[in-house]
Structures are given as C-alpha cells and as structure tokens.
Structure 1
C-alpha cells in the first residue's frame, strides 16, 4: 500500500505550475498561429457574406490587400488572453483528472487518458473558450466591414455585452463543449500514447528532446483534426457571428440551415487552414508546456 501511495505521489502534478505553464504555452501558441485561425474563421462565414466562397489563398490575398497584416490579427487580443486562460485550465484540470485516474502503479491507460482529456476539454469550454471565441468571431467579422463598429478589444466586449447581454458571449456553448471535449480527449490520449512510445528511444531518466516533443504534438494535432468535430466548428462560428441572433434560433436550427441551404460539404469549410493551425498548435503548445512546467514547478 505504501509503495502504491508513493507511486501516486510521484505522479501528482503541481496545479499552480500546470496553470502557469499552460497559460504561457497557450498564449504563445495563439499568437503564432492566429493568422491561420483568422483565415479559417473567414472561410466558415461563407454564405453569411452573400458572396462567392473563397479559397484559403484568395482569403489571404484579399485580407492583405484590404487590411494588410493587421487584418490577419483582428481580434487577436481576445484569443491570446482566452487561449492562455483555456490552456491553463485545460492542463490544470487534465493533470488533476489524470492524477485521480491513475492506477495503483501510477500508470494511466489510454482510455483513462481520453476520459481525463474529455473532462479537461469541457471545463475549458465553459470557463474560457466560449467567451473568447465569441468575441474573436464577432471582431473578425466586424473587421471586414467598410466601417468597423468595434474600436478595439475593450470597446468590442463592452458593445457585445451592452447589445446582447452576457448571454451574447455564450452563444454556441453547446457545440463548443462538444468540440473541446472531443478535441482534448483525442489530443491528450494521442499525445500520451505517442510520448510513451518515444520515451523508449531515449536514455532512461532524461527528457525527450524538444524537436521530438514538437513532432509528437504536431502528430496529435493531425489526428485531432481528422475526427468528426469539424462539423461543430462551422456551427460554432455561425452561432457566434454578428448575424446569429437574427438568422438562427439555436445550434440545431443553424446546422439544419447549413445542411439544407449550403450542402453537407460546408461543414468542412476551412479545413486547410484549420489543419495547418492544429499541426503548428499541437507542436508549439506541448513543447512550450513540457519545457516550462519543470522550471516553474522547481521554483514553487
């Protein structure tokens, strides 16, 4: 019994270090990959703009021509702050769920890792993801207007709350919870499984090299984007748009209108930039977290 408790103690993570390292990793990842996120969101608006659907290249060229590089970073503040908070929540809750679900030998099976990831994803969806992504989506759409309504991040948040109330920043919470739950379940279980394989190729007691961590995280990102949650991305984007209140009664009505008016392929709009972002995202966030956590944990 004592040895089992020792094993469990060794595997227990410091929640403060998890929160801080996760926040740093999330903020870094959000800023670096934001242009791809911006393009993905613009492609998913599609019919809401009433024009011909754009390719990723056309969306990039049009944004640069009309608004320059700054156009690719419209709404970035909300996402960097939101991503820092959600990554901090995600890693903290995952580590805590992971500690609870480890067996007596301190090991975590793939199914239990997936369950821990599911809990972490749904937690971050409620606490951080839905508000930050709603604000980001509205600000990206608003930036495409000839005369934008929002003068900046703070003014945008104030205007949204004034016009729609606090419910306005929680539109699409259902699809976001499904998306984040599935995302974290697949990503964490994929990452932990691949990491276990990789640890067999390094000297016992030493850390996995940074380039290998990046590769494992990027692979987990590819696996993540290949699952069914892409459907929820489009519904979520539409529900968080400026016109959502007038266009859709709820998420199911939104999905029905997209399917009947635009076709099933519309649910996969924005896949190319999304895939690019998740490859980069997985590599960056796990690498930064793995390198930052031991440093912060040693200080605390």
Structure 2
C-alpha cells in the first residue's frame, strides 16, 4: 500500500510544463478569436443601441473601419493570453500540490476549486487587468487613421494612461476582474477534470493522452458555465476600464456603483450585454487552448512519467 501511495504522489506534471502548455495554447487561441473579442467589447460599450447584434456589429466595423479593425488590440491580447495562461496553469499546479493530501496524494473537489480560484485571482491582479485596460482602450477607438486616434499602440496607450491617470489607472476595474477570473477558473478547472474523467476516463498521471477532438469537447464544455455566471462582472469590468478622467469625470465610481447605475439606466439585461459573443469566444477558446495544452502535457506524461525505461532501467541492469 505504501508503494502505491509513493507512486501516486510522484506521478504529477511539473508546474513549468503546465505553464508552457498554457502559453502555447494562448498563442493559438488569440490568433483565432480576436475578432469576436473586439465585437464583444464594442457591444458592451454600446449605450445607444448603435449595434443590432453580433453580425451587425461585425459588418459595421468592417464597412466603416476596414477588416483590420477586427484585429485591433491583437498584440496586447496575444501577449496577455500567453502570459495569463502560463501563470494560470503554473500557479494552479502549484496550488493543487499544496492542497493535495500528504498521505495519498489525492486532491479533493474543494481543493481543486480553491486552486482554480486562487489561480484566477493571481492572474487577474498580475496580468489580466493592466493588459485588458490597454486592450479595451484600443478597441473602443473608432477608425484606422493614426492621426485621429488618441492611442497609437499598446505601449503608447499604457504611457498615456499612466501620465493622465497614474499607475493605478492600469488597474481600473480590478475588483470585478478578480471576481470574474477567480470564479471562472474555479469552475473551469473543476469542470475540465470532471469531463475528462466522465467522458474519456482520463486522469492526470495515468499515461493516457487525449485525442485532440476529445480535448476540444472537454475544454468547450468546461468553458460554458463561467460566462453565464460572471456576465455582470465582465460588463462592469469593461465599463470601468473604458472610462477615462479626461472625459470630464468618472461615471462609475466602483464595481457596486457601476452595477447599480447600469441596472437603473439600462435594465437588468444590460448586465449581460456581450454574453453571446463571450459564449462564442470563451468556450471555443478553451477548446483550442486545452487541445494544445493536453498534447504538451500528454507528451510529457508519455515521455517522462510513464515511459517503460523509467520503470526498468533504475531498478535492474540487463546482463
């Protein structure tokens, strides 16, 4: 029994490999899904009903600003996703190791959820908030002529925000971002593990490698619950990040004030603005990311954890 316990505790993928798998998945996801993110941001910032829906918003942007406008903010978005997933996957692995039972090496459902929530809070504070502030400021600008745009690019945008609003201006909307990301990751990691086990009987360290289409299904399903639950936090986050002091005063004074104001002025449904494009972006994004990440971690499991040589060579030498 002791031998089995020791074997269980050693069969784990290092946080560095988890971080690498997440960063590679982030690059692929950003390249594929940037236009949907631009449309989501424009819909969330639309207070006058200029856009009639996702297709109308996308076609309006393309006609008035060109196709390239659908990839506005791609540089900070891709960098943000790469760093975010590296931190998310790596920190979640570290936290899961801390929450594992020291005797059996098992991780409880509560431990998995707390690990996901902690990873979400960390990524929100360290990476997500400042990158999304820059991305949203770039995405809300209309037109492509550089001389007509306030922000000329990601670095220029960050400098302008710091100059006009101080360093903390890059952390506008931090509170709803923390709540959104913490809740999202708690649900996502728990759901991904559950779907892998239920659908494919796959458990970490068992040597099985999911096929890409299996990873896509598990990742897609795991990514659906979060946007519905955290819609109000995402809308509030976008509104807080988009407003600037140079506009003549701040309309929203904080997370709770923004929720009350949006509800009073625009109704309850406004707190879920942009939900459909989020559902078009996040579940497919998770499907893409987990497809790449599972292939990386699956290769590591086959090569370094479950390779036959790891079990034979150290124990006995062939004569």
Normalised TM-score (structure 2): 0.85
Superposition pairs of residues 33-44 of structure 1, within 5 angstroms: 33-44=33-44
Structure 1 residues 145 and 69 mapped into 2: Cα distance closer, same or farther (>3 Å)? closer
State the distance in 1 between where 2:243 and 2:202 align: 50
Structure 2 match to 1:178:
179
Q: CA deviation at 1:208?
A: 1.6
Q: CA deviation at 1:4?
A: 2.7
State the distance in 2 between where 1:295 and 1:148 align: 46
SS in structure 1 opposite 2:224?
A: helix
State the distance in 1 between where 2:295 and 2:87 align: 18
Q: Which moved more, 1:153-162 or 1:31-40?
A: 153-162
Superposition pairs of residues 44-59 of structure 1, within 5 angstroms: 44-47=44-47, 50=48, 52-59=50-57
1:74-98 per-residue CA deviation (whole Å, 9 max, x = no partner) reads 1111111111111100000111111
Superposition pairs of residues 95-106 of structure 1, within 5 angstroms: 95-103=93-101, 104-106=103-105
State the distance in 1 between where 2:28 and 2:170 align: 24
The answer (yes or no) to whether the contact 1:25–1:284 under 8 Å persists in 2 is yes
> Number of aligned pairs?
294
Q: CA deviation at 1:53?
A: 4.8
Q: CA deviation at 1:54?
A: 3.2
Structure 2 match to 1:269:
273
Q: CA deviation at 1:174?
A: 0.4
Superposition pairs of residues 152-231 of structure 1, within 5 angstroms: 152-200=153-201, 205-227=207-229, 229-231=230-232
Runs of at least 4 residues of structure 1 off by over 4 A?
Answer: 294-299
The answer (yes or no) to whether the contact 1:175–1:233 under 8 Å persists in 2 is yes
State the distance in 2 between where 1:21 and 1:201 align: 18
State the distance in 1 between where 2:141 and 2:244 align: 11
1:233-266 per-residue CA deviation (whole Å, 9 max, x = no partner) reads 1000000004475222222221111011111110
Q: Which of structures 1 and 2 has the bigger CA Rg?
A: 2
Superposition pairs of residues 118-129 of structure 1, within 5 angstroms: 118-129=117-128
The answer (yes or no) to whether the contact 2:219–2:287 under 8 Å persists in 1 is yes
State the distance in 1 between where 2:240 and 2:257 align: 10
Gaps of 5+ in 2: 305-319
Q: Which moved more, 1:255-264 or 1:285-294?
A: 285-294
Structure 1 residues 295 and 69 mapped into 2: Cα distance closer, same or farther (>3 Å)? farther
Superposition pairs of residues 20-99 of structure 1, within 5 angstroms: 20-47=20-47, 50=48, 52-99=50-97
1:16-70 per-residue CA deviation (whole Å, 9 max, x = no partner) reads 22222211112221221111111111100021xx454531111111111012221
State the distance in 1 between where 2:171 and 2:202 align: 45
State the distance in 1 between where 2:35 and 2:50 align: 21
State the distance in 1 between where 2:98 and 2:171 align: 30
The alignment's C-alpha RMSD in Å is 2.2
State the distance in 1 between where 2:144 and 2:211 align: 46
Normalised TM-score (structure 1): 0.91
Structure 2 match to 1:112:
111
The answer (yes or no) to whether the contact 2:51–2:57 under 8 Å persists in 1 is no
Structure 2 match to 1:291:
295
Q: Is the aligned partner of 1:9 residue 2:44?
A: no
State the distance in 2 between where 1:200 and 1:2 align: 23
The answer (yes or no) to whether the contact 1:110–1:193 under 8 Å persists in 2 is no
Structure 1 match to 2:240:
239
State the distance in 2 between where 1:36 and 1:30 align: 10
